[in-house]
A and B are shown apart, each in its own frame.
Chain A
């Protein structure tokens, strides 16, 4: 049952990314010790779904919806059930990407891209939780 569960101690590079903020940002702090200045880690916190606030994102979402409908067919919320069924059948616990079509991957890529662009553009638009950027 738990075989498919990713149990990483953080050894891999993707695992490291996920546990990075734990290693850097949590753990015991004792004031008698010096906390070495860690220039550059602020990038971790440069926040946060800025993508969500941008017109570009809206357009990407709109485009994604457009393509989504074309795939699933019009007036077909039933497509949801089919999709869910497929995903479950393939036993894709946490690996849902593998069950999606190439077109879906492209959409995902577009989202990822928009997120990346959002990060770069974070100075251009006010975002809800741009806490680190204020510094």
Chain B
């Protein structure tokens, strides 16, 4: 029977999760496997594991609970081991590295910031900043909307201006929030946001970080910011080159070389 692994903690972790529901239907009970100074939070792995909302949430909740009172290394969703013994073997063999990561992340949490433009507000900005756009928009309006070609031309100009604004705003966010964080991880881009930034924040500096976010909201009302945290340090647990490469690629505007990481 295979073993699903949620995360790795210190064996001395002060509040190990008890009676927690894990993934699966019915939810599998969460257990702790100890090995030396380390422990793994595990449960039985359901036979068929799909990234369903319920299971994703269960994975996250277990890590959230474990991380509330101590440092936890969150595993990526969907990590399973053939059996318990393999888990403890991994803990023993990689103890040095895992303990190093636990020490590095102790007392820190991830805050993820996703930003969108408020569409109307950013259009106002674009019109105010670009005489060409504003003039063409007004000419079109006076012509009852303009010809198809003129509309396309205007739309193209506006699109380019909004895109440029997205890039500068993403940069602005990172620069404004980085000073209050220990580290930053640039997440992959997607349709859903113009910036996707994760910050590693000292728990003691969390208020400072959130105050900086609120400052940005007030100063730049065309930005809609969604902040999630404190989270287990998903984005900072792995120092492998692949993640860093992914971040830098996502940051580069127009890059199409990013590799899928779900391998």
A binding-site residues for B, Cβ under 8 Å: 1-2, 4-11, 13, 15-30, 32-36, 38-42, 44-45, 47-52, 55, 57-66, 68-70, 72, 74-75, 77, 79-80, 83-84, 87-88, 92-94, 96-97, 100, 104, 107-108, 111, 115, 118-119, 128-132, 135
Contacts and interface: CB of A to CB of B under 8 A. Distances in A.
B120 A22 contact: no
A131 B258 contact: yes
Nearest to B187: A21
Contact of A65 (B82, B127, B152, B224): B127
B262 A36 contact: no
Interface string B39-70: 00000010001110100110111001000000
Given A62-B152, A79-B124, A93-B218, A69 B80 contact: no
A47 B159 contact: no
B80 A26 contact: no
A25 B56 CA distance: 12
Given A38-B51, A58-B151, A32 B90 contact: yes
Contact of A38 (B78, B150, B153): B78
Give the interface residue-count category, chain B. Answer: 35 or more
A44 B258 CA distance: 14
A59 B231 contact: no
A41 B217 CA distance: 32
A61 B154 contact: yes
Contacts of A24: 51, 56, 76-78, 262
Contact of B189 (A36, A119, A129): A129
Contacts of B61: 11
Nearest to A100: B120
A77 B231 contact: no
B155 interface: yes
B5 A33 contact: yes
Interface of B: 2, 5, 7-8, 45, 49-51, 53, 56-57, 59-61, 64, 73-82, 86-87, 89-90, 94, 101, 110, 112, 114, 118-121, 123-125, 127-128, 133-134, 137-138, 140-141, 145-146, 148, 150-156, 158-159, 162-163, 185, 187-192, 196, 198, 207, 210-211, 213-214, 217-218, 221-222, 224-232, 234-235, 237-238, 240, 243, 254-263
Contacts of A23: 56, 59-60, 76-77, 234
Contact of A94 (B163, B192, B224): B224
Contacts of A72: 124
A33 B90 contact: yes
